[in-house]
């Protein structure tokens, strides 16, 4: 079975075409905010235009815009190709990637958020079992709360800087590493925002 994996939840743009878990096509690049322009060309450049039997897409948390771009593209392709679509978590993939180099103890994953906050989640040493639910916390407060000595992910450097101690290991989710979490329960192809939406309706503003 061929699986197209789409990951645009962070500053990285990553797509991979996997055939029974083996990589047959791959693109991974730090594009910042250029996902909208680069995603479809990256998919089209894969073997057979990325055509697959199913699609997996990163549903967050991470960049609000990046998450929505990836899910929108995945939904459109799944509809056009009439194939199944499911999601996976940014934190779960980063944790699984980190486990390959982690020496032991809980794995602390941090992901760049907005408004001076970081998304974070801790996992067991195997990088597969979550210890807590995904949360979003101001960097200064999180620096006081987390006592790990090593932090992984796109927000690791900011957290270590705020703490003034620890080791930051910058890891961006890579679609080609999806087989590391392929056997975890699939998620719905809907965004995990990790915190409340920035925008509110007029009624919500009036009630707040």
DSSP calls for 84-121: -EEEE-HHHHHHHHHHTT--SS-EEEEEE-STTEEEEE
User: Looking at residue 195, what is its pLDDT?
Assistant: 60
Residue range(s) occupied by CATH 3.30.420.40 in the chain: 2-90, 91-169
Confidence bin at 199 (pLDDT 50/70/90): very low
CATH of domain 2-90: 3.30.420.40
Share of the chain above pLDDT 90, in %: 88
SS3 50: helix
- Separation between Cα atoms, residue 108 and residue 61, nearest integer Å: 15
- Separation between Cα atoms, residue 1 and residue 4, nearest integer Å: 10
SS3 133: coil
**DSSP at 187:** B
Share of the chain above pLDDT 70, in %: 93
Given the DSSP bridges, would you call strands 85-88 and 22-30 parallel, antiparallel or unpaired?
Answer: unpaired
- CB neighbour list of residue 37: distance below 8 Å, 6 or more residues apart: none
Question: Quick one: CATH architecture of 91-169?
Answer: 2-Layer Sandwich (3.30)
CA count, 13 A, side-chain hemisphere, 143 = 19
Residue 197 predicted with pLDDT over 60: no
Q: Are 117 and 136 in contact (CB under 8 A)?
A: yes
């Amino acid at each position: 079975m061929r699986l197209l994996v789409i990951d645009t939840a962070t500053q990285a743009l990553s797509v991979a075409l996997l055939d029974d878990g083996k990589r047959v096509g791959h693109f991974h690049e730090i594009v910042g905010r250029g996902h909208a322009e680069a995603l479809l060309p990256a998919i089209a450049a894969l073997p057979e235009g990325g055509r697959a039997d199913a699609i997996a897409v990163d549903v967050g948390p991470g960049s609000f815009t990046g998450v929505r771009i990836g899910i929108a593209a995945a939904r459109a392709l799944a509809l056009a190709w009439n194939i199944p679509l499911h999601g996976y978590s940014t934190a779960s993939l980063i944790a699984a990637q980190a486990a390959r180099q982690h020496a032991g103890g809980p794995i602390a994953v941090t992901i760049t958020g907005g408004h001076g906050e970081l998304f974070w989640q801790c996992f067991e040493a195997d990088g597969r079992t979550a210890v807590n639910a995904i949360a979003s916390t101001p960097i200064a407060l999180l620096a006081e709360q987390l006592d790990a000595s090593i932090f992984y992910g796109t927000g690791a450097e900011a957290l270590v800087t705020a703490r003034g101690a620890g080791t930051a290991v910058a890891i961006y989710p890579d679609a080609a590493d999806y087989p590391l979490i392929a056997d975890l329960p699939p998620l719905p192809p809907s965004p995990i925002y990790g915190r409340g939406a920035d925008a509110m309706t007029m009624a919500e503003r009036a009630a707040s």
